Structure 1
């Protein structure tokens, strides 16, 4: 049985910016205590924690390379020490580097895979061992696994792997009452998405969506909040939060 009386606790990787920040803000608004993880920008994570606590919420800063199992174990330890346990892992941490497959520097490929595949595997492994009954793991993919835009080859390959990890882990956690799902955003107005794109490219992607706009980080956070909270019968799924992008 899920414990609905105790405040729930979430750890959000990549929680210091973009979609991660919106997820932290939404979960804190929903009453979660939140571990705000950062890899390279401690100041932004600290500012967000100050914002959450000033509004009456509870949050702590934790850091570390998501691909480093020791650093992430320490992050889990810190959240558990602060709040007594962890119920939800939201893994928004990721990197995107674009380029044609024929020309991509293989060092860039290794960087993408280290963060997006190994990083997801490391934090999911820790979550599988440590989340409380009634918990939820929410990973992140991309709608480009279906739209197959050129130049996204390495990034899409890494996110297809994330979807595979999700589907297997959901079945491996049979009997633990822990759900495992992936959110696959479409074009969303974040620095990660906008970096390197001119206005014409941004406009084309916005026009490709039937709702005729880019997604907002808050749109994606709403999907995460659903999976982290009431969506106990949604498990082993990839949810496309993309405004109807084909």
Structure 2
């Protein structure tokens, strides 16, 4: 969809949804920085797939909860490709369990990656993205309809939707759009970490009778990152196959 050569950073780019977003944006003509936290092998595969298809991509490791490492991530992108035009804030983690059983370490891990990490990434993006740029948060359907056992995860993702509205007002004067994409149950994806049949329950809730695929999410991100979405900002877009209706 994008024909000009631009650069996108995708955090959590080594995972299923993140990898699909990287590939789709590369197909659109973006040069891609595939961020990863610990899954170097996954990031390497994404880069190899993009390069084998004629695109440009590099991988870069960073702890998104560490401001210095986030800053270095953006510096790496600028050194490799000259600038940053779009940032997809996708890195996240989930622990699903009743609140009485949730440890403070599990709480801290979700807040650290999902909220602190997203904030630091967005903050650095706001400093570096040029005019007509794109900042896209990957939220979750659980932000709109939390399930039992997802109190903290749902709260961290709902915070991203609120951040989307606020930042759209801050960055609009530079023609930077800020939007949030809310995936529903997607496989492979975070629901596989929940350890129960939550994904299957969501499949039954969709009129299509299936779960989402990473490409379903990536196609929407592709549009939001494109010039065609220039008049859309501050929006949270549900991509859930109608399961939340």
TM category, shorter: over 0.9
Structure 2 match to 1:164: 162
CA contact (8 A) 1:33 1:57 kept: yes
Structure 1 match to 2:216: 219
2:243 aligned with 1:208, yes or no? no
Structure 2 match to 1:43: 41
**Among candidates 4, 7, 10, match of residue 9 of structure 1:** 7
**Among candidates 138, 142, 145, match of residue 143 of structure 2:** 145
CA contact (8 A) 2:144 2:158 kept: no
Structure 2 match to 1:79: 77
Shift of 1:201: 4.1
Q: Which stretch shifts more, 42-51 or 15-24?
A: 42-51
2:234 aligned with 1:236, yes or no? yes
Work out the CA distance in 1 between the residues paired with 2:136 and 2:198: 29
- Where 1:204 maps in the other structure, the secondary structure is helix
Work out the CA distance in 1 between the residues paired with 2:48 and 2:13: 13
Work out the CA distance in 1 between the residues paired with 2:174 and 2:198: 45
Deviation track 1:52-83 (CA, whole Å, cap 9, x = no partner) reads 11111000111101111111111111111111
CA contact (8 A) 1:18 1:192 kept: no
2:68 aligned with 1:65, yes or no? no
Deviation track 1:74-131 (CA, whole Å, cap 9, x = no partner) reads 1111111111111000011000111112331122111100000000000000000100
Structure 2 match to 1:100: 98
Work out the CA distance in 2 between the residues paired with 1:178 and 1:25: 23
Aligned residues: 242
Work out the CA distance in 2 between the residues paired with 1:81 and 1:126: 15
Could you tell me which runs of 5 or more consecutive residues in structure 1 were left unpaired when the two chains were aligned: none
Q: How does the TM-score come out when normalised to structure 1? A: 0.94
Q: How does the TM-score come out when normalised to structure 2? A: 0.95
- After the TM superposition, list the runs of 4 or more consecutive aligned residues in structure 1 that deviate by more than 3 angstroms: none
- Where 1:175 maps in the other structure, the secondary structure is helix
Could you tell me which runs of 5 or more consecutive residues in structure 2 were left unpaired when the two chains were aligned: none
CA contact (8 A) 1:24 1:36 kept: yes
Work out the CA distance in 2 between the residues paired with 1:177 and 1:169: 12
Work out the CA distance in 2 between the residues paired with 1:5 and 1:56: 14
RMSD over equivalenced CA pairs, Å: 1.4
Shift of 1:197: 3.2
Shift of 1:191: 3.9
| 1:104-115 correspondence runs (5 A) | 104-115=102-113
The verdict on how the C-alpha distance between 1:201 and 1:123 changes in structure 2, with shifts beyond 3 A counting, is closer
Structure 2 match to 1:25: 23
CA contact (8 A) 2:191 2:199 kept: no
Work out the CA distance in 2 between the residues paired with 1:196 and 1:123: 26
